[in-house]
């Protein structure tokens, strides 16, 4: 994967998101405190927000170029987006949620099958349930499955573990690892928990008040510190 | 109750229903534009649409009369081109009811759309749905209770309209007389019993409609 973000400028309430970076890893963490601009970054990649200036390119295809007035609409980007609360459609069943994007893909373009996703995420038993009858962890799995079934080229996960308690978190992580390994779709993983990054990601981009303050291998930026301090308490920033 | 009384009741229900059907689609479209898009002149349009709520109904009636009469811009055109006369016919009743109840339908739908989490619509876009598809599969199904509640209020408003109707459609027995016009006429003529009967019917219809609309709104609140 090659995601290039150039001359990004998006005014937020207290500061502006200003970035210039390339992301090439299979699983990249976007790390930073709450309100640092992480979700806004995902929104830009998905095409849900209009930046003042930006050049965004994924694997050679230009998504956004404000100079040439290019803005590929979100429905043609094929970016899987799992927002923080999952944002499942409350009027549809689990099955209908999962099929929402899947049914829009021509049959010969469906590389990821319905059965594969429900098996890997273990949601076969939930298919006919209504959304209000799902637990927090189940909701997130369904939201991941729904994004995967739309056959995305890149998956954006916005704090998929936020709000889950400790036990649920550790039970949910294996699903994310399976998702990363089975479907071979590059992942951008937003979090403010260093521990999650170490488990899932190879590279990390650290964002603070809208700016990238570090980018590098998770091992270099986090693991040493974690060994030193046993645990990095987020949202502390590593010394650079 | 004589045949004429039944006729008036049926005419009132039919024309109120027709006016609600007529305004529903434009009201929903405008409500979506107001709830989801930013555009120039938005607040001006918002204000104009709400005017019938606060203007004296007879003022709206007078305006419609000037507009739709044979010497008005719209009425003159229709008369000259299609030999179509609006004023003092059932069509004038229909238009008066539509104009007077339009703001209520817009308000209901707008509130309904504003309650739909925009994040759901955005996610649907990333799943490959066009804006149009998102509207039909996400926004409308999630907002339909509020839309229906607003439409029912508009219907109730249409059932009771008086001031605009009497100016632009007159009070012509057998042609433009609605329930509220019939009450007025019978009071004027001293037929208190008839007036009272029509009043009871008005209360029944108004009660049933508003009560149903409250059910829609209440259920929506529970879901939200």
Question: Is the Cβ pair B126, A74 closer than 8 Å?
Answer: yes
Q: Does A71 touch chain B (CB under 8 A)?
A: no
Contacts of A41 (CB under 8 A, 6+ apart): A5, A8, A17, A19, A30, A190, A207
Nearest CA in chain B to A87: B120
Q: pLDDT tens digit string along A207-219? A: 999 999 999 998 8
Q: Which residue has the tokens 């004023």?
A: B87
The pLDDT value given to residue A222:
79
B129 contacts A100? CB cut-off 8 A: yes
Domains in chain B, ordered, with CATH? 3-223 (1.10.3720.10)
Residues on chain B touching A40 (C-beta within 8 angstroms): none
Q: Is the ipTM of this complex over 0.85?
A: yes
Chain B residue with minimum CA distance to A84: B119
Q: Is A60 on the interface with B (CB under 8 A)?
A: no
Q: Do A101 and B127 touch (CB under 8 A)?
A: yes
- Take residue B154 and report the two structure tokens written for it: 């508009």
Say how far apart CA A158 and CA A188 lie, in whole Å. 8
Nearest CA to A197 out of A210, A183, A212, A180 is that of: A180
Span A34-70, pLDDT tens digits: 889 999 999 999 999 999 999 999 999 999 999 999 9
Per-residue tokens: A175: 């699903």
Tell if the CB–CB gap between A81 and B123 is shorter than 8 Å.
yes
Using CA atoms, how far apart are residues B5 and B19, in angstroms rounded to an integer? 21
Q: Give the closest-approach CA distance of B193 to chain A in angstroms.
A: 50
Please, which residues have CB within 8 angstroms of residue B171's CB and are 6 or more apart in sequence?
B177, B181, B184, B185
The answer, yes or no, to whether residue B221 has pLDDT greater than 60, is no
Residue B129 to residue A85, Cβ atoms within 8 A: no
Query: What rounded mean pLDDT belongs to chain B?
Result: 93
Q: Using one digit for the tens of pLDDT, what is the confidence trace for B96-118? A: 999 999 999 999 999 999 999 99
Check CB contact under 8 Å for A75 and B127: yes
pLDDT tens track for B24-54: 999 999 999 999 999 999 999 999 999 999 9
What integer is the mean pLDDT of A194-215?
A: 91
* Mutation for A interface: B123, B133, B140, most A CBs within 10 A: B123
Give residue ranges of B with CB < 8 Å to any A CB. Answer: 117, 119-120, 122-131, 137-138, 141-142, 223
Dihedral sign for Cα atoms in the order B3, B9, B11, B17:
negative
The answer to whether the pTM exceeds 0.80 is yes
* Contact between B127 and A147 using a beta-carbon 8 Å cutoff: yes
Q: What is the pLDDT of residues A104-151, one digit of tens each?
A: 999 999 999 999 999 999 999 999 999 999 998 899 999 999 999 999
Q: What is the largest CA-CA distance in chain A?
A: 51
How far apart are the CA of B153 and the nearest CA of chain A, in angstroms?
25
How far is residue B165 from each of residues A97, A164, B5, B43, B85, measured CA to CA in Å? 48, 60, 19, 28, 16
B116-135 tens-digit pLDDT = 999 999 999 999 999 999 99
Chain A residues touching B122 at Cβ < 8 A: 43, 46, 48, 74, 81, 83, 87
Q: Are B108 and B156 in contact (CB under 8 A)?
A: no
CA distance B58 to chain A (A): 43
Q: Indicate yes or no: CB of B127 within 8 angstroms of CB of A100.
A: yes
Q: Is the pLDDT of residue A80 over 60?
A: yes
A73 at B interface, C-beta within 8 A: yes
The better pLDDT of the pair B156, A225 is held by B156
* Neighbour count for residue A85 (Cβ, 10 Å): 16
Asked if the C-beta of A146 comes within 8 angstroms of chain B's C-beta atoms, the answer is yes
| Residue that is written with structure tokens 């539509």 in the block | B98
DSSP chain A: --EEEEEEEEE-SSSEEEEEEEE-SSEEEEE--TTSSHHHHHHHHHT-S--SEEEEEETTEEEEETTTTEE--GGGT-EEEE-TT----TTSBHHHHHHHHHTTS-GGG--S-HHHHHHHTT-GGGTT-BGGGS-HHHHHHHHHHHHHHT--SEEEEE-TTTT--HHHHHHHHHHHHHHHHHH---EEEEES-HHHHHHH-SEEEEEETTEEEEEEEHIIIIIHHHHHHSSPPTTPPPP-
Residue B210 CB: number of other CB atoms within 10 A? Answer: 15
**Band of pLDDT at residue B186, cut at 50, 70 and 90:** very high
Q: Is the Cβ pair B125, A91 closer than 8 Å?
A: no
Asked if pLDDT for residue B151 goes beyond 80, the answer is yes
Beta strands in chain B (DSSP E): none
Report the candidate in A99, A236, A121 with the shortest Cα–Cα distance to residue A183.
A121
Q: Find the residue in A nearest to B141 (Cα).
A: A91
């Amino acid at each position: 994967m090659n995601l290039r973000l150039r001359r990004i400028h998006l005014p937020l309430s207290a500061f502006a998101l200003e970035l210039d970076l390339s992301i090439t890893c299979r699983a990249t963490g976007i790390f930073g405190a709450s309100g640092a601009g992480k979700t806004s970054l995902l929104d830009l990649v998905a095409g849900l927000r209009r930046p003042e200036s930006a050049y965004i390119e994924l694997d050679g295809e230009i998504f956004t170029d404000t100079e040439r007035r290019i803005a590929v609409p979100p429905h043609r980007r094929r970016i899987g987006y799992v927002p923080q609360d999952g944002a499942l459609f409350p009027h549809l069943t689990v099955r209908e949620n999962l099929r929402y994007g899947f049914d829009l893909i021509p049959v010969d373009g469906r590389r990821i099958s319905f059965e594969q996703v429900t098996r890997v995420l273990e949601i076969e038993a939930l298919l006919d349930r209504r959304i209000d009858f799902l637990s927090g962890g189940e909701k997130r799995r369904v939201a991941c499955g729904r994004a995967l079934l739309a056959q995305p080229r890149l998956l954006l996960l916005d704090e998929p573990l936020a709000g889950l308690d400790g036990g649920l978190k550790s039970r949910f992580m294996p699903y994310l690892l399976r998702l990363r390994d089975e479907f071979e779709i590059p992942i951008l993983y937003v979090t403010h928990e260093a521990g999650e990054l170490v488990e899932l990601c190879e590279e990390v981009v650290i964002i603070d008040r809208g700016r990238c303050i570090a980018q590098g291998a998770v091992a270099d930026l986090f693991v040493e510190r974690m060994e030193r301090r046993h645990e990095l308490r987020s949202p502390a920033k590593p010394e650079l | 109750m004589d045949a004429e009384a039944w006729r008036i009741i049926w005419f009132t229900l039919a024309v109120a229903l027709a006016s609600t059907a007529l305004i529903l689609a434009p009201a929903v479209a405008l409500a979506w534009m107001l709830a989801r898009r930013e555009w120039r002149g938005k607040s001006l349009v918002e204000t104009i649409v709400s005017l019938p709520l606060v203007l004296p109904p007879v003022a709206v009636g007078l305006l419609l009369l000037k507009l739709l009469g044979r010497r008005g811009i719209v009425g003159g055109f229709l008369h000259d081109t299609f030999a179509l006369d609006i004023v003092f016919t059932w069509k004038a009743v229909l238009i008066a009811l539509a104009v007077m109840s339009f703001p209520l339908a817009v308000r209901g739908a707008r509130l309904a759309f504003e309650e739909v989490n925009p994040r759901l619509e955005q996610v649907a876009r990333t799943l490959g749905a066009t804006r149009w598809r998102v509207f039909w599969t996400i926004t409308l199904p999630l907002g339909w209770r509020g839309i229906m509640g607003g439409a029912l209020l508009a219907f109730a408003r249409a059932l009771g309209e008086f001031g605009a109707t009497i100016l632009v459609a007159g009070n012509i027995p057998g042609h433009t007389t609605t329930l509220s016009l019939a009450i007025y006429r019978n009071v004027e003529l001293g037929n208190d019993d008839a007036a009272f009967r029509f009043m009871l019917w008005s209360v029944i219809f108004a009660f049933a409609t508003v009560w149903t609309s409250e059910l829609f709104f209440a259920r929506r609140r529970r879901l939200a």
